[in-house]
Chain A
């Protein structure tokens, strides 16, 4: 388990994380949802022992991540990719695998498996610099997985990828949950958090505003669904918590030409919690 207890951090006088507390369990995908500057990357740096907490503490599998051996439980896919572009995909995997203490046939087999799993086998010997954004992101994830860590830290894992590659990445991440890995998924795309995550931690300004399952967050902070109906060429919109009942009521009044139902989403949750949108 990854455990955060009253974790705070500041760059000089500017506090960027303020008393964060939550746990990440094995087999769970926990989304960190927040705009740029919310403190997600700083949290990742604290989780990997790169920074020292100002207050509070972090525990990874019971250990301090500032201790090298504790970091063996972690697989990091940083936002900046963190790949050697002059090396091939296979060479990158072998290199980072060796740093994790893997050697010989086991490492070679693991490398080939990951290349196959991420769809990079055909171009495994080519320089990473020649890869598309989506391929680099897949390799980024593969490198994080090379030593089969207990927890996966994904920082904006889908930046700069096309929709097809994004779907492939989602499938890869979901497979990690099935494999029993805990995944911390930092993103500012609410669609991704909603699609992938078992629980979502909503962050803004370094503070944890809410943490729950997506349905619970929607229920508590999402507000009403938006129902738009068109009748005899005239459109009408209503906010309702009982969309089906409202639809039946409107249909009973007069036949509808069409209708659109927009259920509450995490964007609305974020708006409700912070007073501003995710992309403000």
Chain B
């Protein structure tokens, strides 16, 4: 028992003296819990979660305008009016999850209510944001039902609609006589409190081949942006940049840790005793990291070709790859100075990278995050790297769109590299 306790106390003492170990044992789980707590409970955020949405009115009717106004007023959406081109561009650049197109004829179809083609919307969405699109479809259907409920609350506004419906039924074959009677008495029926019940019966229990069989208050056609823009030719064009980023993160961590290993094993000391300045030693390591990342990009792009991963504009992919490699090489130099020991640098480096991946949307959809966390995500090179690679692969970026993204990556890389070079502990070698 004495031996057992002695060993136990020794290990606890070692843990207490290892600041990195303490951080990972106690602080990091807390930070992790805090992050997901903010994400899923909304703590720390005054405003609601919002899905960025662009609204395009191609119908230009009073009904379509009223529909879009009510949609823009809904909580949970960051909806803005835009032109068709502007809205599609916003989706392509990753600034909006989807563009909602109110197609021509929407207003007229709304007047028919129970007959003919329903009012139709088109949702042009970012293929990487399927979860948000599913939510949007639900929101739109809900909005349609709300609109219907409002109209049913004003019987006078329904009179032309009912009349149109009666006309429509009169032209159809096989409409049950009781339905014809029911529609005929609808004015009286609407005066009763059972409007909603009758609507459900009408939409769900109508006889086959009647006009009610396929009744729906609204039709939402979802369409990936790619269909019109020649974007992702395969799902791998979406998954490859994200997978690639995890590979790049791993390279940055490995090289950062290897600098500490060199210090421990004395090779850094021997390098320093050679007739070299300090900069070439770190620059050599940085170059190796840079080339490894570039090779990784090249390898994955080549491996992806048979799977349909084809860059629309290869030069843009090269530029995106170079800037991504630069950003993460700078980050590697920063990681190398995060601690004195291999364990500390490994732990702190991976934590930093994991947090950057989280903030960059690599682990949790961005729309789930509080607004301040999304804003913080703009400092993550993960976000910008994915955007640069996707921009070249399928988002149809031109130089004008890619260069600002590259600028952010280059700035990030240079900033991290400067800190790393300045703070590198040569004396420990």
B277 touching A83, Cβ below 8 Å: no
The answer, yes or no, to whether B266 is at the interface (CB within 8 Å) is yes
A48 touching B273, Cβ below 8 Å: yes
Give chain B interface residues in 384-429, CB to chain A under 8 Å: 426-427, 429
Known: A49-B272, A50-B427, A99-B271. A82 touches B265 (CB 8 A): yes
Picked from B269, B276, B277, the residue with its CB within 8 Å of the CB of A50 is B269
A82 touching B275, Cβ below 8 Å: no
Q: A70–B274 Cα gap in the complex (Å)?
A: 9
A71 touching B265, Cβ below 8 Å: no
From residue A1, how far is it (CB to closest CB) to chain B in Å? 18
Picked from B269, B276, B426, B427, the residue with its CB within 8 Å of the CB of A80 is B269
Known: A50-B426, A50-B427, A51-B427. A100 touches B265 (CB 8 A): no
CB contacts (< 8 Å) of B267 on chain A: these are 82-84
From residue A33, how far is it (CB to closest CB) to chain B in Å? 22
B266 touching A78, Cβ below 8 Å: yes
Q: Which of B267, B269, B270, B271 has the most CB of A within 10 A?
A: B270
State how many residues of chain B have any CB contact under 8 Å with chain A.
16
> What does DSSP make chain A's interface, helix, strand, loop or mixed?
loop
The answer, yes or no, to whether B343 is at the interface (CB within 8 Å) is no
Give chain B interface residues in 251-294, CB to chain A under 8 Å: 264-267, 269-277
CB contacts (< 8 Å) of B429 on chain A: these are 50
Known: A50-B426, A50-B429, A51-B427. A81 touches B274 (CB 8 A): no
Picked from A72, A78, A153, the residue with its CB within 8 Å of the CB of B275 is A72
A76 touching B276, Cβ below 8 Å: no
B275 touching A50, Cβ below 8 Å: no
Q: A82–B264 Cα gap in the complex (Å)?
A: 9
CB contacts (< 8 Å) of B264 on chain A: these are 80
CB contacts (< 8 Å) of B277 on chain A: these are 68
The answer, yes or no, to whether A203 is at the interface (CB within 8 Å) is no
What 0/1 pattern do residues 132 to 166 of B give for CB contact below 8 A with A? 00000000000000000000000000000000000
Q: A254–B266 Cα gap in the complex (Å)?
A: 60
The answer, yes or no, to whether A143 is at the interface (CB within 8 Å) is yes
Q: A79–B270 Cα gap in the complex (Å)?
A: 10
Q: A81–B265 Cα gap in the complex (Å)?
A: 7
Q: A49–B269 Cα gap in the complex (Å)?
A: 10
Known: A50-B426, A50-B427, A51-B427. A82 touches B266 (CB 8 A): yes
Picked from A68, A81, A143, the residue with its CB within 8 Å of the CB of B276 is A68
A76 touching B275, Cβ below 8 Å: no
CB contacts (< 8 Å) of A49 on chain B: these are 272-273
Q: Which residue of B lies closest to A84 (CB)?
A: B267
Q: Which residue of B lies closest to A85 (CB)?
A: B265
The answer, yes or no, to whether A131 is at the interface (CB within 8 Å) is no
A74 touching B273, Cβ below 8 Å: yes
B275 touching A48, Cβ below 8 Å: no
Known: A82-B265, A83-B267, A84-B267. A99 touches B274 (CB 8 A): yes
CB contacts (< 8 Å) of A83 on chain B: these are 265-267
CB contacts (< 8 Å) of B275 on chain A: these are 68-72, 99-101
Q: A80–B264 Cα gap in the complex (Å)?
A: 8
CB contacts (< 8 Å) of B272 on chain A: these are 48-50
A78 touching B269, Cβ below 8 Å: yes
Q: A139–B290 Cα gap in the complex (Å)?
A: 31
Q: Which residue of A lies closest to B428 (CB)?
A: A50
From residue B288, how far is it (CB to closest CB) to chain A in Å? 13
| A–B complex contacts, Cβ < 8 Å, 16 sampled | A48-B273, A49-B273, A50-B272, A68-B275, A68-B276, A68-B277, A69-B275, A74-B273, A76-B273, A78-B269, A78-B270, A80-B264, A80-B265, A80-B269, A84-B267, A100-B275
Q: Which 10 pairs across A and B sit closest by C-beta, in order of nearness?
A: A80-B266, A82-B266, A82-B270, A76-B273, A48-B273, A68-B275, A99-B274, A78-B266, A72-B275, A71-B275
Instruction: Give me 9 other A-B pairs in contact (C-beta within 8 A), A50-B272, A76-B269 excluded.
Output: A50-B269, A68-B277, A69-B275, A70-B275, A76-B273, A80-B264, A80-B265, A99-B276, A101-B275
